[in-house]
Amino acid sequence: MTFDSIIAPLLSPYALIFLVSFLLGLAGPQFRNRRKMMGMKFAGDFSAAIYLYLMGGISGACAGMIAATGALIQALTPAKYLKKTIWPRVILAVILSFASVYFSYKTLLDILPISMVVICRFGELQSRAQHIRFVYWATCFPWMVYHYMNGFYLPLIACIFLCGSLLLSIIRHRNSPILASVID
């Protein structure tokens, strides 16, 4: 990682798309409400997918679009319908993930973002925003590996900040019985 490899993407015309994605990614987990959090995640994932596509990260872009689709569905689905629509949403995410791997696979590294999206889809099936935040936090680390190995240093830095933001939001909203006993 050189100074030029970090600065050059900041000066590219795609930097605005990245900046929007980054700010939405930081803001989303701070909402207490699951549907608002998912709405912000949709906008952030969609713009991140566009950025990765423009930078040549096809498997990451596919994963981002699957994540954006899942977040949009979650934002539009009231909590009372979550349990009724679990399996169709999971099956759709898995089918889209396999199709993405089929069309974008070049190296083993291409499977990493797709698999993290599937894990996040299972996490989003939770009705509690705190559980969703924890799953997102855990999947930040494989995304960091993907970005680093592909030379996408701006998204790598964004993942580091997002990981910190998620950790802060987990601590801020720690009324979850699972995490309250761990954190307190």
| Rounded CA separation 135/122 (Å) | 9
pLDDT digits (tens, 9 = 90+) for 110-121: 888 888 888 887
Average pLDDT over residues 152-159: 88
pLDDT value at 183 more than 90: no
Name which of 167, 171, 141 is nearest 156 in CA terms. 141
Residue type, 158: A
| Rounded CA separation 115/96 (Å) | 11
* Range picked from 2-16, 28-42, 84-98, 140-154 for highest mean pLDDT: 140-154
Name which of 3, 46, 18 is nearest 155 in CA terms. 18
pLDDT digits (tens, 9 = 90+) for 33-49: 878 888 998 999 999 99
* Boundaries of every domain in the chain: 14-183
- pTM, rounded to two decimals: 0.76
